[in-house]
């Protein structure tokens, strides 16, 4: 079985520290708590499972729940304005959907267990927003009184890279430009 968990299992931890699959979890976010519970249950019942802890996924396709990059891109493309809550200092990791697919296809080569899939980039929301705004010729508007989301700790990807002896993560800016090109062309 392959199960998609979330970076939110690391909620509540000090965001100045890197985390890996051995980090003791104490999630404070309800979504992270639920994902942590199901990770444990799956590994107990289906011990031969692979669990991927995903950061914010972006890429071509239809979303049931829009992600940060898609929301920013749609606003910049359609309104020529990109709104940032807070100061934009929240840091996030993103993973390109095509990279997720690469790792899914390699899952049979992995030992059962938990693996972070988060891409390497760990940028502030304002840095990502400025990149997207520049691509679409939009302006950014900062709403300093709005509450930003939680900065989760930087997820280390070394376990999956070492296990496969290959790094399949795309360069974030290259993948982001590809995605922005895809959505701007319909």
The pLDDT assigned to 46 comes to: 96
The pLDDT assigned to 60 comes to: 87
Give 63's contacts (C-beta < 8 A, 6+ positions apart). Answer: 70
The pLDDT assigned to 83 comes to: 95
- DSSP assignment string, 68-88: HHHHHHHHHHHHSEEEEETTS
The pLDDT assigned to 54 comes to: 97
The pLDDT assigned to 61 comes to: 78
Q: Which residues of the chain have pLDDT under 50?
A: none
Considering the domain 2-184, what is its CATH architecture? 3-Layer(aba) Sandwich (3.40)
Q: Which of 51, 59, 74, 90 is nearest to 132 (CA)?
A: 74
Give 78's contacts (C-beta < 8 A, 6+ positions apart). Answer: none
The pLDDT assigned to 66 comes to: 75
Instruction: Give the pair of three-digit tokens for residue 169.
Output: 């993560």
The pLDDT assigned to 186 comes to: 76
* pLDDT tens digit sequence for 120-149: 999 999 999 999 999 999 999 999 999 999
Distance CA 63, CA 49 (A): 25
The pLDDT assigned to 5 comes to: 97
The pLDDT assigned to 156 comes to: 97
Please report, for the chain, the start and end positions of each structural domain, with discontinuous segments joined by +: 2-184
């Amino acid at each position: 079985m392959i199960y998609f968990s979330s970076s939110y299992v690391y909620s509540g931890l000090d965001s100045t520290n890197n985390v890996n699959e051995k980090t003791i979890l104490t999630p404070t976010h309800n979504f992270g708590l639920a994902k942590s519970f199901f990770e444990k249950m799956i590994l107990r019942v289906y011990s031969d499972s692979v669990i991927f802890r995903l950061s914010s996924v972006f890429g071509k396709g239809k979303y049931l729940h829009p992600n940060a990059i898609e929301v920013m891109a749609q606003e910049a493309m359609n309104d020529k304005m990109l709104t940032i809550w807070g100061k934009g200092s929240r840091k996030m990791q993103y993973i390109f959907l095509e990279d997720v697919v690469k790792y899914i296809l390699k899952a049979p080569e992995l030992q059962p267990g938990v693996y972070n899939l988060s891409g390497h980039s760990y940028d502030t929301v304002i840095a990502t927003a400025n990149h997207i705004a520049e691509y679409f010729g939009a302006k950014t508007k900062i709403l300093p009184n709005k509450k930003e989301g939680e900065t989760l700790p930087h997820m280390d990807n070394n376990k999956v890279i070492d296990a496969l002896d290959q790094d399949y993560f795309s360069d974030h800016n290259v993948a982001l430009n590809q995605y922005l090109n895809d959505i701007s062309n319909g």
